[in-house]
Amino acid sequence: MIGMAQYSKSLEGRAKKGVLRVAFVGNPLIFLERYTTIKDQHQVNGEIRDKEVRLISETGEMLGIMSASAALRIAEEADLDLVKISPNAVPPVCKVMNYGKFKFEQAKREKENRKNQKIIEVKEIYLSMTIDIGDLNVKAKKTMEILSGGDKVKVSIRMRGRQMAHASMGLDVMNRFFDMLENKAVMDKKPTTEGRNIMMILSPAKQ
Burial of residue 140 (CB within 10 Å: 0-12, 13-18, 19+) is: buried
Question: Coil, strand or helix: which one is 124?
Answer: strand
Q: Are 157 and 168 in contact (CB under 8 A)?
A: no
Span 135-143, average pLDDT: 93
- Return the CATH number of the domain spanning residue range 122-204: 3.30.110.10
Instruction: Give pLDDT tens digits for 166-187.
Output: 888 999 999 999 999 888 899 9
Q: Taking the model in full, what pTM does it have?
A: 0.46
Compute how many other C-beta atoms are within 10 angstroms of the C-beta atom of residue 184.
16
Q: Are 185 and 205 in contact (CB under 8 A)?
A: yes
Superfamily holding 45-98: Translation initiation factor 3 (IF-3), N-terminal domain (3.10.20.80)
Percent of the chain with pLDDT over 70: 80
According to the model, what pLDDT value does residue 18 have? 38
Residues of the chain with CATH 3.30.110.10: 122-204
Does the pLDDT of residue 23 top 60, yes or no? Answer: no
According to the model, what pLDDT value does residue 25 have? 40
Residues of the chain with CATH 3.10.20.80: 45-98
203 residue type, one letter: S
Instruction: Give pLDDT tens digits for 60-108.
Output: 999 999 999 999 999 999 999 999 999 999 999 999 999 988 888 888 8
Q: Pick the residue with more confidence: 110 or 18?
A: 110
Contacts for 51 with CB less than 8 Å, ≥ 6 apart: 67, 68, 91
Q: Cis (ω within 30 of 0) for the bond into 204?
A: no
Residue 72: DSSP 8-state: H
The residues that bridge with 200 in the sheet, in sequence order, are 155
Contacts for 137 with CB less than 8 Å, ≥ 6 apart: 180
| β-sheet with 122-127: strand ranges across | 122-127, 152-158, 197-204, 185-194
